[in-house]
Amino acid sequence: MPPNLCTVVVFLLATMAYGGGAVGVNWGTTASHPLPPTKVVELLKSNNVTKVKLLDADPGVLEALSGSNLVVTVGIPNALLRTLNSSKKAAESWVHDNVTRYVSNGGSGVKIDYVAVGDEPFLQSYGEQFHPFVIGAAMNIHIALARAKLESKVKVVVPCSFDSFLSESGHPSKGHFRADLNRTMIELLTFLSKHSSPFFATISPFLSLHQNKNISLDFTLFKANAKPHNDSRRTYKNSFDLSYDILVTALSTVGFPKMEIVVSQIGWPTDGAANATSSTAEIFMKGLMEHLHSKSGTPLRPRDPPSETYIFSLLDEDQRSISTGNFERHWGVFTFDGQAKYHFDFIQGSKNLVDAQNVEYLPSKWCVVNNNKDLSNVTASSLEACSLADCTALSPGGSCSNISWPGNISYAFNSYYQQHNQSADSCNFGGLGLITTVDPSVDNCRFSVQLRTSLSDFLYPAYLTQWMTLLVTTILLSLTIFT
């Protein structure tokens, strides 16, 4: 039984006792200057987070999690799926390096409960480049866990994207998996069912709002006055229930009506697009948490909410792909440096999120455009800067979209300058840049100063060793096949 909620501090990112489910967070590290892993673990613990889902298996992150008592899902990048599908040896090496070596230390180790094979490998924009390798990779990882005597403790799952299931009519009763995925999904669900593993799926009300003209913002934000959607005798009052039951129907259609569901990603971005603001994100997150706490489930699964839900995400990541939209770099509940973007109210009262402490920044310097120069060609320089740095806040609807020229040029220059560790030559731009100690931030448009750390600080030799091990294994496998 869960502990008495009256005796523990309960809020958004904590484990919560509703129908046996729990709420955790996704921790991604696709940032030019990541918050050091030890600082992130402090941030998680100070906010009473108890479950965290990683999108990869960075050794520095896993080492920082050792002894933390956080329950962890370790991720396998899509780039490794081909190798893990073709080689049991590669799977054994990966499990040894990323699971066994961390869980074998008893109380001082990492509490790993899932290995997530791939990062949404069925995302429609990927085409079918990963489809042939997912199931084989999952099977080989399971075999490797079994050989390490960990299969009873660590389950294998495959995170599925929000677009892997759909309903053309928008009615949950017509839900199904994408036609190109049917055979693969049946194989995956058979595998998951056999090993008592749940189905990991992304639910994205924000993307549903952007892609479906029949869904209103109020309906997405759990507003009580939102116009409901009717499906036969069932009434849907919010976008979450609608999407969730489309998945439930899709599972039933292929023969798995009782499959356990984990919402592996759900959240709301705060910049880079219309409706992507901190105030809107706060409304959504409060509505989501209230809905999950209510234990009401959905019309197709009443009183049976997802067994676990992972908020996407913990921190902003300035290196995430923006192929879906500029908002992709702004999903964090916290900014890149661990500062809370908004507040939450919780069922046992209210508590503000706790910011990261003692964060180390680069010096308080910014790069701006030099107004005393001929700026007739400055736009070309800013476009070049944005092609290599993060200018997503300048996009329509973004927090810096309203700053006038040449303020937007200065933003581009500073983004490039900070990403390059404030090196003097990174604020040159053909003599058009100027380094200043006066903060050029305007209203809600923040000209950031980056963290003292950089991505290169986290390229641990152990991480490179894992890749080399997999590469050598693949080469040896190829030599065996062709000789």
DSSP states of 173-212:
GG-EE-GGGHHHHHHHHHHHHHTTPPEEEE--HHHHHHH-
Report the alpha-carbon distance of residue 193 to residue 261 in Å, rounded. 12
Marked catalytic residue, from 42, 92, 120, 308:
120
Nearest to 314 by CA among 86, 26, 83, 21: 26
For residue 430, with 0-12 CB atoms within 10 Å meaning exposed, 13-18 middle and 19 or more buried, which class applies? exposed
Known active-site residue 42: no
Q: Return the amino acid letter for 300.
A: L
Q: Give the rounded distance of the alpha carbon of 58 from its chain centre.
A: 15
Q: What are phi and psi of 473, to 5 degrees?
A: -60, -40
Q: Which amino acid is at 53?
A: K
* Distance between CA atoms of residues 315 and 273, nearest Å: 18
What are 231's strand-pairing partners? Answer: 234
Element (H, E) at 382: helix 378-388
Residue pair 160/198 in contact by the 8 Å Cβ criterion: no
Q: Scanning the structure block, which residue is given the tokens 């008495």?
A: 4
Q: What are 102's two structure tokens?
A: 């961390």
Greatest alpha-carbon pair distance for the chain in Å reads: 70
Q: Which of 263, 71, 260 is nearest to 154 (CA)?
A: 71
| Alpha helices per DSSP H over 96-150 | 101-103, 131-147
Rounded CA-CA distance 355/338 in Å is 6
Query: Residues with catalytic annotation?
Result: 120
